[in-house]
Amino acid sequence: MQLNINGQLRDFAEPMTISQLLQQLELAPERVVIEHNNEILTAEAHNKQLQDGDSLELIQFVGGG
């Protein structure tokens, strides 16, 4: 399966949900905003199944002082 993540094509061996993708990328779901095919997702939508060719923008919040 091929996904466009933040403008870069990435290949994955098998289909997955958004939640599984975040786990694989080692991103904390509570610190990420996800745009999936031009739609901002809520946390409840993280169980959505990804399809080959989907486009995602992942924006991670970073704390600091």
- 50 belongs to a structural domain: yes
Q: CA 32, CA 13: separation in Å to the nearest integer?
A: 23
The pLDDT value given to residue 62: 78
pLDDT tens digits for range 20-39: 999 999 999 999 999 999 99
pTM, two decimals, is: 0.88
Domain count, the chain: 1
Mean pLDDT over the full length of the chain: 94
CATH classification of the domain holding 50:
3.10.20.30
DSSP the chain: -EEEETTEEEE-SS--BHHHHHHHTT--GGGEEEEETTEEPPGGGGGPBP-TT-EEEEEE-----
- 56 belongs to a structural domain: yes
Reply yes or no on whether the pLDDT at 11 is more than 80: yes
- 65 belongs to a structural domain: no
Alpha-carbon 7 to chain mean position: 12
The pLDDT value given to residue 63: 72
Q: Which residue is associated with the tokens 């169980």?
A: 47
Range of the structural domain that residue 39 is part of:
2-60
- 17 belongs to a structural domain: yes
The pLDDT value given to residue 51: 97
**Mean pLDDT, residues 45-61 taken together:** 95
